Chains A and B, each alone.
Chain A
Amino acid sequence: MVDFHGWDMPLHYGSQIEEHHIVRQAAGMFDVSHMTIVDVTGNQAKDYLRYLLANDVDKLKDKGKALYSGMLNDDGGVVDDLIVYYFDATNYRMVVNSATREKDMNWLLKQTEGFEVTVTERPEFAMIAVQGPEAKAKAAEVFSNAQNEAVAGMKPFFGVQAEDLFIATTGYTGEAGYEIMVPVEKAPDLWQQLLDAGVKPSGLGARDTLRLEAGMNLYGQDMDETISPLEANMGWTITWEPADRNFVGRAALEAQREQGTKKLVGLVMTEKGVLRAGLNVKTAEGEAGIITSGTFSPTLGHAIAMARIPATNSSTVEVEMRKKWVKVEVVKPSFVRNGKSVL
């Protein structure tokens, strides 16, 4: 057990690597009740979110559709990354990080100024993520008929309220599955039913290696308030058009885009050893970078990492490992999807 920003959470339930493989090959579940759920409602909910977020909620046309976005400060730094679900133009739900809960809530409330909008935290929900190629089938054994009907044919990155559960086709592993919001008092029962259906509990350790293989950022590690989304492989989450949509951080981002920024890249090392966060990186041009997240990839059987580096013309960089500089390959920061290598 570790203290994870005030939540007692297990690093693993036995073996981190076994839990990782189970999610890639069958079905695992994570207690992610630490995530902060926030509802945004009111006549100007849409206008507020179009101002608050670098991605544009105006893209959301289908009920239940989700969008990943950064929430930036005036300097273009990432206050947090989040998922926002659209129900209608006056009703949205966001899921933000737990580490940043207090800061986020203060920020969200501060930005409401001038908007007719209500921001409501929903601590009465717990959240369980069921992930893996067999996750949906196993969850179906636990869902009621109405819930199964509600999720039938639901595409990735959607969410739906079905009886007492909010079921979303989202996740943090690169596998199919659901993230399920459940009233706190019903969470232990849902966990037990999933367990009985053969879904294996997985801890924070596996959650980290799975998200890293999938090339997903971890807030506080791969980016924070001092880091622009342009330096965090989040350029795709910035919606520049229409150019007259003002959002927090826009002016700073435009200047950064003009100047050019460091990039978050993937690193692959097939020799023995593990790339780890904080290790120094040197480009072929001799410029310095740093590993933001690194691990042994259980799926690939060698080390992978994300690193923030200055622009380079080379397909390799060097990493300082135990006093030696080791040459490693630079790739796009995505390593495994749906159980298979994408290298």
Chain B
Amino acid sequence: MKVSSSVFASFCLIFELLGLALFLRGFFPVPVKSSFSSKNKLSDLPAEPLAGNGPNSSKVPPPLFKRVVIVLIDALREDFVFGPNGKKYMPYTRHLVERGSTHSFVAKARPPTVTMPRIKALTTGSIPGFIDVVMNLNSPALHEDNLLWQAKTAGKRIVFYGDDTWVKLFPKHFMEYDGTTSFFVSDYTEVDNNVTRHLDSTLKRDDWDMLILHYLGLDHIGHISGPHSSLIGPKLLEMDDVLKKIHAALISKEAEGTLPNLLVRLGDQRSTPAGARPSPEINTPLVLISPAFKRKAGMEKPSVVEQVDLAPTLSLSLGLPISQNSVGRLIPAVFEETSLREQLRVLHLNGYQLSCLLRDSTLAYQKEEGYELFRVAEKSHGNWMKLYLEGNTSETLSNMGRKVLRQYIDALKAMSSALSRQLGKYDMYSMVVGTVLLVQMLLLLLLAMPEALSGAAVVDVPVGVALTSLPFYLLCLLCAALHVALCTSASASCYFCGLPWALVFAAIACSAALACALVTMAARRLAPPTKSPSKVSSPGWELSELDMLLLLGTVGHTLSLGASSFVEEEHQSWYFLLNTLCLAVFQDVCRKYFRERRRASQGGAGGDSDDEEQLLPSCKAAGPDTSPLADLGVSRGSEKWLALATPPLTLACCRLLRSLNQTGIQWAHLPDLSHWLNSGDHKVVLSLLSMASLALVFVLVQRRCSAVSKIALALGLLGVYSYRAAAGSVLFPWQHSSRAASKGTMEARFVYVFVLGILFTGAKDLLHSQLVSAEARLRGRGLWEVYSGVVLLIALLLRPHNLPTLACCLLVQSLMAQFIWKRLHYDAAQTTIMHYWFGQAFFYFQGNSNNIATVDISVGFVGLESYVEAPAIFLTALSSYAGPLLWACHLVCYLSSERDSRSSAALGHGCYCFALLRSVPAVFYVLLVTALRYHLFIWSVFSPKLLYEAMHTLVTALICIFFTFMDQSPSPSRA
């Protein structure tokens, strides 16, 4: 079956996407959940176990504490309190920890450590699954069973001050709240004063039961000036004072209350702990202070608990049911002072909740060690209760009770770890099937390379041969048998097994056919040398320095993905490669212009002349009819200097953009231009900069549009500016009245109309040229109009400080196209690789990184009144991948003009190279992630990158389909 290169490439990419989807489904565990919406109720609580029959109490144990104050301090590390400098930084806390009636712990938190999942983990006690983070980027209200809901239902009044993520998560739970946005990282005083200023009045009042304070200032200091900043000391002292104030107020109330109060202070970590890299387990201090605890004699080494343990502990000590999906186990030290019966009772409640969760989330729960231990403990608890109720008070009873206690603790530990393990389990079968599909596609692409890059750009896929061969049927049978065997075996819970059988067998047949086709193609590749050895040696596949660089760069970048630091700092590799590429291009330009002069003076020498003569006629032939310089008004003499100036200019642009957005992990805290521009004091500069950028965009894009599109573009860009002005990020020069800040929805919709209009005009031109006239000029214009529509849309979506990125992108594109790619006769493959590299670099110039936290979700609201899922996702994806998308669009425009002038196969080659460039890292990365699935950084570093890779493959596949569509049209050579 013969297909053109572009069709072949799109086909491969689509299959790769399917493989990738299957792999992702197997790779990301489904979170451990009993259910999403049901909640535990007091009435559902189990009765105290009792052997035999008798009146057993089914009431909840009485609350230990009357009031709770929770103080959360972002980015508070445990060594600030427990470390050697604790006395200096936080004297009062340290004193309490050493001498007061407190319990102190080191709480281990697990990634992903983004604010929202962190708060979820604290309140629900569940470990946030990775998918949770991705699915809930826009933090909607929390519907899962959680501590705050339970407290509110029990009639407790909650007051909250601090990070407004809480307010979004728990919209109706607080009696009183004041949210502070964590968006302005540069502010570290106001953000905390806003919390502290309510404190005095609130502490005096008696009308609340639970007070939650969330301080962000320390974290912001870490973001601005790094973990060793001199600002940290004063900030810690401030926090210490806050604690002292609260503690004093609570103690003064103590006398009146019947039950003691509890003060919880917890360090928490958000996205990036104070500039340092996220370690897989983050240690934060947890200090519980209450007169109910025994006074301590001196500093002890704090024991280690999980952060999720806090939720069940708080629930039980407040007399509330434990939230349903909690995987934490209570901290026994808190209940030390209560009677043995009560201790056993709370342990039983916690165990019962965990066993229910285990039963709901595991099929073979009865085989679990923890479950059995719990059953045993429950039974001996019953026996103990019987003796206890009989009035037995002997020594043996308390010994027996302590034994039951230990049994319970062991059971809790085993069940909790079984539940956590659930999160780390991979569906290997789906993963393997996905990987096999991916690898097959990559091999297919690689084997087809000589044909796909040949002059005809046609690939012969031997499907017919494969389908009629015997090995195909054998392979089908084998795989089907294997599938049946795997899926009918015990404890199989694969996603792939859950699919309908017909679909699975179709997939198996497809894969088997591909395998046979691959073997046939490989055999064909190996065969020819014996027949015609001359044909192999003759093609001019000699690699220039540039080719070497492009090849080694691609391979080197792919290999670098194996190191977690290189994944985190991937932008550095791209910037580095791009710089080197520009220098190599610069060398090529110099060689071209200076060698020509030398040639003129000396005459051709040796092997050079052939090469030159091949190039020169085509150069002359191409010169007049393309005439790219005419529309810029550049004379032939200055062309040389412009060509020489282009690479240095590109380098300068790249350096500028690089300092615009600081991304990655290690240097993310360094100040960058975007912070400076957005800081509020420099609004004028930002306005001027975005205005200049928009003007430059207009100048660069309008050249090849029709008159109507030009006007639409100009109005659209004006609309973009007024949208930003309405949203309040830039100044509007002729309007000083401070209107009520509208969201700019009208302006944004106005721009959308123009975008659609331009896209429509472009599509109309394209269709016309495709179906009716096959006129190259019309098609070029249509393509360019589609391109300018995309540019306008992206201009709308990018934040004002990122508009220079767009302008620079267009500038570099037009300069490179005019003076480098056309002049130096780079072939389609080389141009494609360069476009791909530029696209990657611009992806990071925009401020993206391989971390989920840098996705700008606010884009999803541009022009929309409220959150609507489909357009929001589309817009977010579009703006995140603006760089690669723009370069790919430019590639289509460039190659299709190239096709009209020089090589008819340019589009096919470009499409094929594009697909290959994407497949190589994607497939390599999938293999790598499979191999590293037990690596320490798998969740924090490698998984987000996997999602980015999958998304990028999706974008590339769409572009390749567009390529194919453009390639299908009747070319002038055939017409």
- Co-complex (A, B): no
